A and B are shown apart, each in its own frame.
Chain A
Amino acid sequence: MTKTLDHLSRLENQSIFIIREAYSQFRNIAMLWSIGKDSTTLMWLVRKAFFGKVPFAVLHIDTGYKFKEIYDFRDTYAQQWGINLMVVKNDEAIAQGVCPKTGKFECCNQLKTEALKQTMDKYKFKALYLGIRRDEHGIRAKERVFSTRDEDFEWDYKNQSPELWDQYKTKATHEEHIRVHPLLGWTELDIWQYILRENIPIVSLYFAKQGRRYRSIGCETCCSPVASQADTVEKIVEELQTSTISERSGRAQDKESAYIMQKLRSLGYM
C-alpha cells in the first residue's frame, strides 16, 4: 500500500522542492535568517533539502536592537549547524545616529533594507530565500513563490509573471534579484505543528513567562508580548487551535466551553 502523504509532509516535500529548485538555478543565492520561528523552520527545511548542509551564505540583519535571546540562539545554532553566517549591519547609518527614536520607518529602512541592499550588491547575490507566509498580513497575499525585485528592491505586484504548477520564474535579469518563498503556503498553525512534530529548537521568547509571550520577534524596541499561558510548543498549538475555534463559535460561549467543544469535535463526539 503506498502511503498518502499527510498535510505537514506534503508541505515539507513541496518546500524542499522549492528550496532545491532555487538552488539549482542560482548558486549565488543567500538566505535571510531573522532567527524567528518561520525562518528557523525554513533553515530546518534547508538542512533537510541538503542532508544537513547549508550550502550558501546565511544573512542575519543586525540592527543592534535585537533581544539578547536572539543573539544567543543565533550563535549557538550557527555553530551547531555549521552555518556560513554573515551578520549584516549598516554601520554608516548607525554612526550617523539612526535609531528607533529617529522614527520607526526610517530606522527600519536604514538598518534593515539599506543594510541588506548593500550586502546584496557587495556579494552579487542574485536570489534570496525568505521565510514569509501568505497568511501573515496585507500585501503578502499577492506574493509569488519566486518573486522579482528590481534594482531598487521595488516589487511590481501588478505586473508579475504567472506561476503554473511547479514552474516558476527562475531567471533574473541583470538588474533584478529574485526572492524565493518556500513557506508561502504555510499558515501560522502549520508552522507550529511542524515545529512540534520535528522538535525544532525555537527562541525562548515565544514561550509564555509570567502570562505573556511574543507571537513574533524582532527588535526589542518594537515588539510587545501578548497575554498567554502557553509555555510549550504543544500549548501554543493548542492556543492557536482553540482561539480560532472560540472566535469562530460565535455566541457568548466562554473559552472553556469552546475548549471542550473542540476536544469533543476532534474525537467525533459532537
Chain B
Amino acid sequence: MSCMGRTVFIGLDGVPHGLLKRLADDGTMPHCRRLFEIGNLHCIASTIPDISSVAWSSIITGKNPAEHGIFGFVDIPINTYRISFPNYLSLKSKPFWEKSEGRSVILNVPSTFPVREMNGVHISGFVSLDLERSVYPPGLLSQVKALDYKVDVDAEKAHVSMDMFLSDLDKTLTARGKVCDHLWQHEKWDTFMIVFTGTDRLMHFLWDAYEDEEHWYYKAFRGHFSKVDAIVGSIIDRLNDNDILVMCSDHGMEHLDKNVYVNAILKEHGFLHYDPALKGGFANIDGRTKAFSLDPARIYLNKRGKFPRGCVAPNDEEKIIEDICELFQRYAVGGKAVCKAIYRKKEIFHGPFIDLAPDIVLIGNEGINLHSGLTAENTSEETIFSGKHTQHDAFLYVRGRDKCPSVKEGFNVSNIIGYIDSLKAERWR
C-alpha cells in the first residue's frame, strides 16, 4: 500500500442524484447516508447521448466521444449500411488503468469486453459475450465461475415474469458482491473499481415502483437498493482514512411515458426513404435518403462519399441540418414537444474521430424515450418499460469535505477521472 492512499471508485449505473438522495434520507440506503454526511454529493451531467456505452467510455478515459470513438451501442461503419456493435476493441483512448503505474482491479465496467492484458484484474461488464473473454488474467476464470458470477441479469426474464427477473437480479448482485469480496481480499491493488449495473436494469422495468407505495414491487425496488447499499457499506468499512473514495453514476433516470421513433418521423417528413417490405434494415435505405438515425437518437446525414448511396452534397449539409433541427424543435406528440434539447455535432463533439460522430443528437423531453429502430411504423408508442435515461441528474460523490476541488457548472461524467487525478495531486501536496 502506498503512503498516499488507495483509490476506490464505485459506479451505480443509471442512478439519479435525486433518487440516491431520497433513498439515503428515507433509510433505504443507510451506508450512503453515512457517507453523505462526511463528503460532497454533486449533481452532474451525462454524456450526449446519455447512454451507458458512451458514458462509461468517457468516464474511464476522461475523454469526449469524438476522442474515444464510442457513440452508442450500435454503429454503421463508413461505406456500409451494416449495423455493427462497437466493443472495447473499438475504444480509441486508453482507460485510466492503462495509464497509471499502479495495479488496478476493475470489475464490471460496461463496454469493456473483450478484456486484454493489463496490470491487475479486469472483469468486463455489459455486453459481454462469454465469461472466457471477460476475465483477465485467465487464471482467475475458474474462481470467478465457482462463485456463480454472471456479467448481467437476464433482462429477457422481465418480459416473462417479473418475479423471475427480480430473483435473477438478486442472484447476479450476490455473486457480484462475492467476487468483489474475493478480489478485495486476494488481490493487491492501488485502484479498485466496481460498477453495479442491476440498478439501471431495475429502474428500466420498475421505475413506477419507486414512488408508488401501493406498487406490488415497491418493496422489491427498495430491497435491491438496500442490498447494493450493504455491499457499499462493506467496502467503506474496510477503507483507510487516507483512501480516496469516489462514487458516480453514468446518467440519470426518469419516468418513461412514450417511445418516440426518430426514423419514423424522418420518414414521415421525407428525409428518410426505405422499403419497409424488404428485410435487412438499414441496407434498404435508398438513394433519396437525406438522413437516418441510430439508437438512441443520433442523426447522420447520408453524405455522398461517406455512405454507399449517399446523396447529400457538402454544400447542402447546413441547410438539411437546419431543416431537421427545425422539424424536431416543433415536433410534438400529444401536445408535448418530443425534444428537450437538440445538439449539432460541433457543439458537443471535439476530437480526432469527429467524422464518425452523428451530425445531430436529440435529447428526449421529460418522459419521452427516443428510439431509432427502422421497423417502427408509428412515430410514438407506449411501452412496457417504465424508466428512461436522462442526460441530467447523474451524480458524483467524493468522500472528505476539505481539500476537494470544486465541481464547476457544466461538469459532466467525462470530467470525473481528471477530478480524481486532481484529488490525488491535492493529497500528495
Q: Which residues of A line the B interface, CB within 8 A?
A: 1, 3, 6-9, 193, 196-197, 234, 237-238, 241, 250-251, 256-257, 259-264, 266-270
Mark out the residues of chain B between 322 and 361 whose CB falls within 8 Å of any chain A CB in the assembled complex: none
* Residues of A close to B216: CB separation below 8 A: 1, 3
Q: Is the CB of A263 within 8 A of B383?
A: no
* Residues of A close to B156: CB separation below 8 A: 241, 262, 266
Q: Is the CB of B373 within 8 A of A270?
A: yes
* Residues of A close to B157: CB separation below 8 A: 193
**Cα(A193)–Cα(B204), bound, Å:** 22
CB nearest neighbor in A for B279: A250
Q: Is the CB of A197 within 8 A of B155?
A: no
**Cα(A48)–Cα(B204), bound, Å:** 33
CB nearest neighbor in B for A269: B73
Q: Is the CB of A6 within 8 A of B162?
A: yes
* Residues of B close to A7: CB separation below 8 A: 160-161
**Cα(A196)–Cα(B127), bound, Å:** 23
CB nearest neighbor in B for A268: B385
Q: Is the CB of A6 within 8 A of B279?
A: no
**Cα(A14)–Cα(B95), bound, Å:** 53
* Residues of A close to B369: CB separation below 8 A: 268
**Cα(A69)–Cα(B129), bound, Å:** 32
The majority secondary structure among interface residues of chain A is helix
Mark out the residues of chain B between 27 and 82 whose CB falls within 8 Å of any chain A CB in the assembled complex: 51, 73-74
CB nearest neighbor in A for B280: A251
Of the residues B164, B204, B214, B385, contact of A8 by C-beta under 8 Å:
B164
Q: Assess whether B126 is interfacial by the CB under 8 Å rule.
A: yes
The majority secondary structure among interface residues of chain B is loop
Q: Assess whether B275 is interfacial by the CB under 8 Å rule.
A: no
The interface size bin for chain B is 35 or more
Q: Is the CB of A1 within 8 A of B129?
A: no
CB nearest neighbor in B for A196: B164
Q: Is the CB of B160 within 8 A of A263?
A: no
Of the residues B155, B158, B161, contact of A193 by C-beta under 8 Å:
B161
21 interchain pairs (CB within 8 A)? A1-B216, A6-B162, A6-B163, A7-B161, A8-B160, A193-B161, A234-B154, A237-B154, A241-B156, A250-B279, A251-B281, A257-B85, A263-B155, A266-B156, A266-B158, A268-B204, A269-B51, A269-B73, A269-B296, A270-B74, A270-B371
Q: Assess whether B152 is interfacial by the CB under 8 Å rule.
A: yes
**Cα(A261)–Cα(B51), bound, Å:** 16
Residue interface mask B112-144, A partner, CB < 8 A = 1? 000000000000001101000000000000000
* Residues of B close to A8: CB separation below 8 A: 160-161, 164
Q: Is the CB of B127 within 8 A of A268?
A: no
* Residues of B close to A197: CB separation below 8 A: 161, 163-164, 167
**Cα(A253)–Cα(B369), bound, Å:** 27
Mark out the residues of chain B between 287 and 312 whose CB falls within 8 Å of any chain A CB in the assembled complex: 295-296
Task: Determine how close the nearest CB of chain A comes to the CB of B388; give it in whole angstroms.
Answer: 8
* Residues of B close to A3: CB separation below 8 A: 216
* Residues of B close to A238: CB separation below 8 A: 154
